[in-house]
A and B are shown apart, each in its own frame.
Chain A
Amino acid sequence: EDKVVQSPLSLVVHEGDTVTLNCSYEVTNFRSLLWYKQEKKAPTFLFMLTSSGIEKKSGRLSSILDKKELFSILNITATQTGDSAVYLCAVYPHNNNDMRFGAGTRLTVKP
C-alpha cells in the first residue's frame, strides 16, 4: 500500500530558528513529490520535485528529494511567525492522476 509519512507531527520554534521537515514515502512507480503550506484555509503549492539531489528554492524555503532513500526535506531558514502553518507532503505515482498526502507537520513559530 502506498504510504507517505511526515515527521515531526508538530514543531514549536522561535523566530529566527531554522527548521527541517521530513517526508518519507513508499509509492509504487514514483513520479513526483510536492510540498504544500496550509494556513487557515486551502493548501497552497510550494514545490514539486521530480529529480534527486536538485534543490528547489523560494526565498527562505528550500527542498530536496532523495529518490534512493525515498525521502524529501523542507527547510525553512530564519523562521517568521507567518511561517506558522501545516506543511503537507504529497506524492504522485506514475499512471495515476491522484496524489497521496501525508498527515502534515504543524509548525508554530513564536515571536
Chain B
Amino acid sequence: DVKVTQSSRYLVKRTGEKVFLECVQDMDHENMFWYRQDPGLGLRLIYFSYDVKMKEKGDIPEGYSVSREKKERFSLILESASTNQTSMYLCASSFAGREQFFGPGTRLTVL
C-alpha cells in the first residue's frame, strides 16, 4: 500500500512564525504536491515537484516556499505565517499522469 505521511496532524502557530510542514512517501513517486483545502474552495494547489530539487508554482504560491532535497520528502515552508494561512494542508504523491495518493492532512491554525 502507498503510504504518504505528514509530520503533524494539528499545528498551532503565531503570526510571523516560520512553519515547516513535512511530507514523506514510500512509493518512489516522481511527483509530489502540496494543497490547501478551505470550505467551499476545494483543493487548491500551492506547489508541486516532479523531481528532486525541481519545483513548480501552483495556483496559490504566495507566502509559501518548498524544498525537495530527496525523492521521498517534500517540505512546505511558511516563511512568516499569517492568519489567512489557517487551513488544512494536504500532501500528495503520484507517478506522472496517475492518481494521486494523499497524506492525512495537517490542520494549521495561525493565531
Contacts and interface: CB of A to CB of B under 8 A. Distances in A.
Contacts of B35: 101
Contacts of A32: 97
A98 B45 CA distance: 8
A31 B97 contact: yes
A44 to B, nearest CB: 8
A25 interface: no
B99 A48 contact: yes
A98 to B, nearest CB: 5
A101 to B, nearest CB: 4
A40 to B, nearest CB: 9
B9 to A, nearest CB: 9
B37 to A, nearest CB: 9
Interface residues of B, number: 25
Q: Which of A31, A41, A102 has the most CB of B within 10 A?
A: A41
Interface of B: 4, 31, 33, 35, 40-45, 48, 50, 56, 58, 90, 96-105
Interface in A16-48: 31-32, 34, 41-45, 48
B104 A103 contact: no
Nearest to A95: B97
A104 B42 contact: yes
B97 A43 contact: no
A9 B98 CA distance: 26
B89 to A, nearest CB: 11
Contacts of A42: 4, 90, 102-105
B22 to A, nearest CB: 16
A96 B37 CA distance: 21
A4 to B, nearest CB: 8
B97 A101 contact: no
A97 B92 CA distance: 12
A41 B48 contact: no
Contact of B42 (A44, A45, A92, A103): A103
